[in-house]
A and B are shown apart, each in its own frame.
Chain A
Amino acid sequence: MTLEILGISVLGMFLFGYIIVASIDFGAGFFNAFSTVTGKQHILTKIIHRYLSPVWEVTNVFLVFFFVGMVGFFPKTAYYYGTTLLVPASIAIILLAIRGAYYAFTTYGGLKHKRYTILYGLTGLFIPASLSSVLTISEGGFVTMEKADPVLDYWALFTSPLSWSIVVLSLTAVLYISAVFLTWYANHAKDEAATELLRKYALVWAGPAIITAAGIIVEMKGHNPEHYQRLLDLWWLFALSVVLFAGTVYCIWKRRAYGLAFGLLVGQFALAFLAYGASHYPYLLYPYLTLYDSFTNQSMAIALVVAFIAGLGLLIPSLYLLLRLFLFNKEYVEGNRNDEHA
C-alpha cells in the first residue's frame, strides 16, 4: 500500500465517520422539529436530547479532522477546492455555526422556543445539501480553468440533474440513517412510544434512500462515462450493499434486533462508500487533480501518519470511555440517572 492510498483511506474513514454521526445529528434535529410541528414532541424530544447532548461537539470534530487532513495529505486540494468552493462551503459553515451555537444556547442556556427548534431542524437539511456539492464538483464538468485558475460554473451546477440527485440522496440518506439509529437507541432506552414512531420514520425513508442511490449510478452514465464504467466494474460491492440494506429493513419491519439493523446499515453505507470511492480513483477532481499529483512530500506524509497513529492511540480509549458512560450506560440511556447537566 502506497502512502497516497493510506492517506486517502485515513481521510475516507473520517469522512465516513462524519457522514454517519452527522447524519444521526442532522436527522435527529429534523425529526425533533417535525415532531414539534405535528404535536408529538413529548414522545421524541427527551430521547433525542439524551443522545445528542454529550456528543454534539465530537460530531463537529470529525468534519474538522477531515478537511484539515485533506489539506495536509493533499495540499493541492486547498488550491482547487478552496478557490471553487468559496460560496457553497461558506454557506455550510454559516449553517453549521448557527446550528452548533444555538444547540448550546438552547440546551444549556435555556433559550427554549419552538422557532429555534424548527430552525435547528431545517439547517440539518441544508447542510448536507451544501456539503454534497463537493461530491458533485469532484465528478468534473463544473470547473473550468481560466488563466490557469479554476473557476466554478454555478449555473451549470444549479441546473445539473446530477447535482440535484446528489442533494436528494444526501437528504434521504440522512433521514434514513438517523431514523434507524434512533429506533435502536429508543428501544435500548425502553421507550416504546419513541421506538414505534422512529421505526415508522425508518421504514418511510428506506425506499427513497435506496432509490436515489440507484438513481445516481444512472445519472453518472451521462455525466461521466469513465466513472460510470468503473462503478459497473464494482457491481458486486453494490449488490452486497443492497443485501445488507434488505437485512436492515427486514429487522426493522419485524421489530427485532434493532442493534443488528443499525450494524447492517453501517455496513451497507460503508460498502457503497468504499465502492464509490474506489471507482473515483485516482481522481480527486476530475480531470484536473489526481491522488498522485496532489500528494504532499514523503517526509510530511510519514509525519502525518505517525501523528495519526499516536492520535488514535489517544482518541480510541477516550471515545470508548464516552460511549461507555453514555451510549452504553443503561441507567443514563433510560434516563434514570439524574446527572444530566444541572
Chain B
Amino acid sequence: MGNGDSLFFSRVLTELTLSFHIIYATIGVGVPLMIMIAQWVGIKKQDEHYILLARRWTRGFVITVAVGVVTGTAIGLQLSLLWPNFMELAGNVIALPLFMETFAFFFEAIFLGIYIYTWDRFKNQKKHLLLLIPVAIGASFSAVFITIVNAFMSAPQGFDLVNGELVNVSPLVAMFNPAMPTKVAHVLVTAYMTSAFVLASIGAFRLLKGSDHTYHKKALFLMMKLGLIFSIATAVIGDFSGKYLAQYQPEKLAAAEWHFESEKGAPLILYGVLDNGEVKYALKIPSALSVLAHGVPNAEVTGLNEFPKDEVPPLYIHYLFDSMVTIGMGMTALALVYVIGTWRKWRFVVSKWFRWLLVLGGPLSIIAIETGWWLTEVGRQPWVLRGILRTKDAATTSGHVDTMLLLFACLYLILGVGSVVVLIRMFRKNSVEQELEDRASEKAGDIR
C-alpha cells in the first residue's frame, strides 16, 4: 500500500474517531455544568427533585464519560500514529496546551470519582456541590485547551519557519492565536447548548411516554431555559466567527458560501445546489454576507476565484454550513417559543406534537455539532497546518492503516451500541417515581 492509500485511510480513520468521540466529548463538556446547576438550584430552592436530577444525570454521565475517555485516548494516540510528520513539526509549538489538557482531564477524573462515590456521605448538600465545581471546570478547560490546539492548526503562529524547521518558538503566542477566541467560545457554548437540549429531550420523551411527574417538567423547563441562553450565545459567537474567517481564512468562508467573485454587498446564499459551477435553487439574502464578514452591508468580500486552485477547500462544505446554521436557528426559535409559551401558559407547548419537537431537539443539536466540525475541518483542506504543512505530507508512511480502520470501526460500533443499551437499561429499571419513594423511605426510617 502506497502513501496515497495511507493518506486516504488515515483521513477516514481520523474523521471516524473524531466524529464518534465528539458526541461523547460534547456531552462530557456540557453535562457537568448542567449537573452542577441542577444541584445548585436544588439547594437554593430546597427542592429534592433537582438534587435527584443531578444524581440521575451523573449516573448516565458516567457511561458517556467512559466512552469519551477511551475514544479520547484513541484520538490522542492516533494523532502520532496516523500523522507522525504533523506531530513532529507541530509538537514543537503546540505541546503546551496539549499537555495542559491532560491536567484538566486528570482534575476532572479525580473529582468525578469522588463525587460518585460519596453520594450520601456528607449531610450538607453544599459539600456535594463543591465537588461538582472542579468536575465542571475540568471538563470545560479540557475543551478549551484542546480547541486551542485545533485553532493553532487554522492559524499557526508563534514561530519562524527557517528551512523547514520551526525556530524562535513562543508557546504562548501559539496558544493565543487569532482563531482561538472565537473557536474556544463557540465550542464551549455549543457544547452547553447541545447538552441542555439533549437533557431536555430526555425529559420531553419521558413526559410523552406516560410519566406525568413534575420531576420531568422541572427538568425540561430548566434545560430549555439554559438551552435558549446558550443558543443565543452561539448565534452571537457564530457571527464573530464569520468575521474571523473573512479576515484570516477567507477561502473557507468563500467556499462555505459559494462566493466566487469578490464583490461589494455580497449576498448570503442559503441552501441550493451547485450545478457545473452555477448555484441553483438558492435563497439569497442581499448584502448579508458582507454584514456577516465585515459588519457593514457594502463591504467587499473576497471570492474563491482569488485563490490558487490547489488551495481551495471542497465546495460541499456549503451543505454542512447550511445544516449547522439551520439547526442552530431552529433550536433557538424552538427554545424561545417553549420558554415564553410556558410562562404565558400557551396550551400547545404541552401538546404531543410540540413535545415531539423537543425530543427531536437533542439529536438535531448533535447533528449540528457534527456538521459544524466537518465544516471546520474540511474547510481547512488542503492544509493540516494552514499555509505550512499540507495534509498529504503529514500522513504516516505505514501500511496497515486500512486494517486498523476496520478494527476501529468495529470498536466504535460496539461502544456505541453498548453505551446506548446500558443507558436505556439503567433508566428503565430505576424510574424516578421509584427512586423518589426509596429516598423518602430511607429518610423516614433511616435504614442506613
Q: Which of B77-126 contact A (CB under 8 A)?
A: 77-85, 87-93, 95-96, 98-103, 105-107, 109-114, 116-121
Most chain B CB inside 10 Å of its own CB: which residue of A60, A67, A300, A338: A300
Most chain B CB inside 10 Å of its own CB: which residue of A60, A104, A304: A104
Of B81, B84, B103, the residue contacting A314 (CB under 8 A) is B103
Of B71, B99, B114, the residue contacting A69 (CB under 8 A) is B99
Chain B residues positioned under 8 Å from A90 (CB to CB):
78, 81, 404, 407-408
Q: Do A83 and B396 touch across chains, with their CB atoms under 8 A apart?
A: yes
Of A82, A97, A318, A325, the residue contacting B396 (CB under 8 A) is A82
**8 A-B residue pairings within 8 Å (CB atoms):** A69-B99, A75-B88, A97-B411, A105-B419, A109-B425, A296-B92, A325-B114, A339-B119
Which label, helix, strand, loop or mixed, suits the secondary structure of the A interface? helix
Of A61, A319, A325, the residue contacting B105 (CB under 8 A) is A61
Count of chain B residues with Cβ under 8 Å from any Cβ of A? 81
Report B99 CB to chain A, min CB distance, Å: 5
Of B71, B76, B95, B403, the residue contacting A64 (CB under 8 A) is B76
Q: Which of A306-342 contact B (CB under 8 A)?
A: 307-308, 311, 314-315, 318-319, 321-322, 325-326, 332, 337-342
A-B contact count (CB 8 A): 239
Query: Once the chains are docked, how many angstroms separate the CA of A108 from the CA of B88?
Result: 40
Question: Taking the complex as formed, is A193 at the interface, i.e. its CB lies under 8 A from any CB of chain B?
Answer: no
Which positions in B face A, CB cutoff 8 Å?
55, 59, 62-63, 65-67, 69-74, 76-85, 87-93, 95-96, 98-103, 105-107, 109-114, 116-121, 134, 166-167, 169-172, 396-398, 400-401, 403-404, 407-408, 411, 414-415, 418-419, 421-423, 425-426, 429, 448
Q: Do A93 and B74 touch across chains, with their CB atoms under 8 A apart?
A: yes
Q: Do A83 and B95 touch across chains, with their CB atoms under 8 A apart?
A: no
Q: Which residue of B lies closest to A74 (CB)?
A: B91
Chain A residues positioned under 8 Å from B72 (CB to CB):
64
Question: Taking the complex as formed, is A57 at the interface, i.e. its CB lies under 8 A from any CB of chain B?
Answer: yes
Question: Taking the complex as formed, is A240 at the interface, i.e. its CB lies under 8 A from any CB of chain B?
Answer: no
Report A236 CB to chain B, min CB distance, Å: 35
When A68-B99, A83-B397, A307-B99 are in contact, do A58 and B110 touch as well, CB less than 8 Å?
Answer: yes
Question: Taking the complex as formed, is A94 at the interface, i.e. its CB lies under 8 A from any CB of chain B?
Answer: yes
Q: Do A325 and B118 touch across chains, with their CB atoms under 8 A apart?
A: yes
Of A300, A332, A337, the residue contacting B96 (CB under 8 A) is A300
Q: Which of A42-83 contact B (CB under 8 A)?
A: 53-55, 57-58, 60-61, 63-65, 67-69, 71-73, 75-76, 78-83
Q: Which residue of B lies closest to A321 (CB)?
A: B114
Chain B residues positioned under 8 Å from A86 (CB to CB):
81-82, 396, 398, 400-401, 404
Chain B residues positioned under 8 Å from A326 (CB to CB):
117
Chain A residues positioned under 8 Å from B100 (CB to CB):
307, 311
Report A77 CB to chain B, min CB distance, Å: 8
Q: Do B77 and A105 touch across chains, with their CB atoms under 8 A apart?
A: no
When A65-B106, A83-B397, A314-B107 are in contact, do A300 and B95 touch as well, CB less than 8 Å?
Answer: yes
Known: A58-B113, A71-B79, A339-B117. 13 other contacts (CB 8 A): A54-B116, A57-B112, A61-B105, A72-B91, A81-B80, A82-B87, A83-B84, A83-B398, A94-B411, A109-B426, A297-B166, A341-B116, A342-B55
Question: Taking the complex as formed, is A87 at the interface, i.e. its CB lies under 8 A from any CB of chain B?
Answer: yes
Q: Do A111 and B422 touch across chains, with their CB atoms under 8 A apart?
A: yes
Q: Do A97 and B74 touch across chains, with their CB atoms under 8 A apart?
A: yes
Q: Do B63 and A75 touch across chains, with their CB atoms under 8 A apart?
A: no
Q: Do A93 and B121 touch across chains, with their CB atoms under 8 A apart?
A: no
Q: Do B118 and A72 touch across chains, with their CB atoms under 8 A apart?
A: no
Query: Once the chains are docked, how many angstroms separate the CA of A45 from the CA of B121?
Result: 23
Q: Do B110 and A82 touch across chains, with their CB atoms under 8 A apart?
A: no
Q: Which residue of A lies closest to B166 (CB)?
A: A297
Query: Once the chains are docked, how many angstroms separate the CA of A16 from the CA of B80?
Result: 22
